[in-house]
């Protein structure tokens, strides 16, 4: 099975049209993460002399200093250098799910070319870090799967049209489960599906390290001087956030940044970490990866919906074997805010969500 990877690269171009050297951003990220130009060079397999040439050429193009060095104290980026690094992190966070989906699509084309009769498991899912882990396990075991990351509404529509075999979705545990289920198409609420549990995970508020704005609850997001970054309107996380606001009688229009949106949990975290917002709502894993503080609000359940006819297939059996393995549980449990205790458990849809009976 062929594996495809796509690594985005961007560069800065001066008003004169002169571009900075392509490896400039890579070097700046290396200095930011290691605190040393020498270590950044080693990581990028560049000579120290060449790296200095790239930096100086970049500074000449941009007309500003990007890095400062002190004898015995390593190196640190200037404010402009930091902005370029955070721009790179935001690009990666926003594009990664899209590029992963595209890689999967191209891999499927390879499979069809070399194994025309092979049936490919179609997985449409909202983005999550346990799903990423599952996709990696499938690849390691040479199990062909066409993974497409989609918004919750798009995933539900795909399942209703029989365009996917496994639909990755999430629902809050507790009082908000029933109102979230009401957003599902009627044809999916009547049963006919198996629920395959993946993980439970925490949703909450991401804030800058040290929580300088002293945000303690959803109500604090409406305070004057607090800048927020939201999820796009067709995501389940956005729908859940709106339910939280309604429960507190908060009008979203009173929140500075309510209409300012990103498309992934990681992009929300990168946005807050870059200083462009004071808070965002999302998962704990990217908050920790970007060095943010985190205020947990509730738990939710991430699962796959699988039509009964597909559930009996060999492909789903292989997925279940992975989900029930000690190795998968061990890795999923290392994700901050994730719990894989019931990973691989299967239930009938109406058994899993009794609220559908109402």
- Whether 119-357 and 24-86 are alike in CATH topology: the answer is no
Strands 338-339 and 193-207: antiparallel
| CA distances, 41 to each of 80, 303, 357 (Å) | 20, 43, 61
Class of domain 119-357: alpha beta
pLDDT of residue 277: 97
230 or 103, which is more confident? Answer: 230
> Averaged over 84-112, what is the pLDDT?
83
Q: What is the pLDDT of residues 31-65, one digit of tens each?
A: 998 988 889 999 999 999 999 999 998 898 888 99
Do the Cβ atoms of 216 and 223 come closer than 8 Å?
A: no
Lowest mean pLDDT among 48-62, 99-113, 212-226, 344-358: 99-113
pLDDT of residue 73: 59
Domains of the chain, by residue range, sit at 24-86, 119-357
pLDDT of residue 302: 98
Class of domain 24-86: mainly alpha
- Confidence tier at 113 by pLDDT (50, 70, 90): low
Residue in this structure with the two tokens 């800048």, named with its chain if needed: 227
């Amino acid at each position: 099975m062929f594996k495809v990877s796509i690594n985005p690269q961007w560069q800065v171009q001066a008003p004169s049209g002169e571009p900075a050297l392509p490896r400039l951003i890579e070097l700046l990220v290396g200095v930011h993460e290691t605190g040393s130009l020498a270590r950044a060079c080693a990581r990028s397999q560049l000579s120290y002399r060449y790296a200095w040439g790239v930096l100086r050429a970049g500074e000449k193009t941009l007309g500003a200093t990007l890095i400062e060095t002190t004898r015995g104290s390593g190196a640190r980026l200037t404010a402009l250098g930091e902005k370029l690094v955070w721009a790179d992190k935001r690009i990666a966070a926003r594009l990664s799910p899209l590029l992963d989906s595209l890689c999967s699509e191209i891999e499927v084309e390879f499979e069809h070319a070399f194994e025309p009769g092979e049936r490919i498991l179609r997985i449409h899912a909202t983005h999550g870090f346990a799903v990423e882990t599952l996709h990696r396990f499938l690849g390691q075991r040479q199990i062909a799967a066409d993974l497409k990351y989609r918004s919750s509404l798009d995933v539900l529509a795909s399942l209703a049209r029989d365009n996917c075999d496994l639909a990755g979705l999430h629902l809050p545990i507790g009082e908000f489960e029933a109102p979230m289920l009401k957003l599902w198409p009627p044809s999916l609420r009547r049963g006919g599906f198996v629920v395959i549990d993946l993980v439970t995970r925490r949703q909450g508020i991401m804030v800058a390290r040290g929580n300088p704005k002293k945000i303690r609850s959803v109500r604090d997001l409406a305070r004057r001087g607090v800048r927020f970054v939201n999820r796009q309107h067709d995501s389940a996380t956005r729908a859940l956030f709106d339910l939280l606001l309604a429960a507190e009688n908060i009008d979203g229009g009173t929140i500075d940044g309510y209409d300012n949106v990103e498309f992934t949990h990681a992009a929300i975290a990168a946005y807050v970490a870059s200083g462009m917002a004071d808070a965002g709502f999302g998962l704990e894993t990217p908050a920790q990866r970007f060095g943010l503080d985190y205020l947990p609000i509730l738990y939710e359940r991430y699962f796959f919906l699988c039509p009964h006819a597909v559930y009996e297939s060999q492909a789903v059996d292989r997925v279940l074997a992975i989900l029930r393995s000690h190795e998968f549980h061990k890795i999923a449990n290392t994700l901050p805010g994730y719990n894989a205790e019931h990973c691989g458990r299967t239930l009938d849809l109406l058994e899993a969500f009794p609220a559908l009976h109402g």
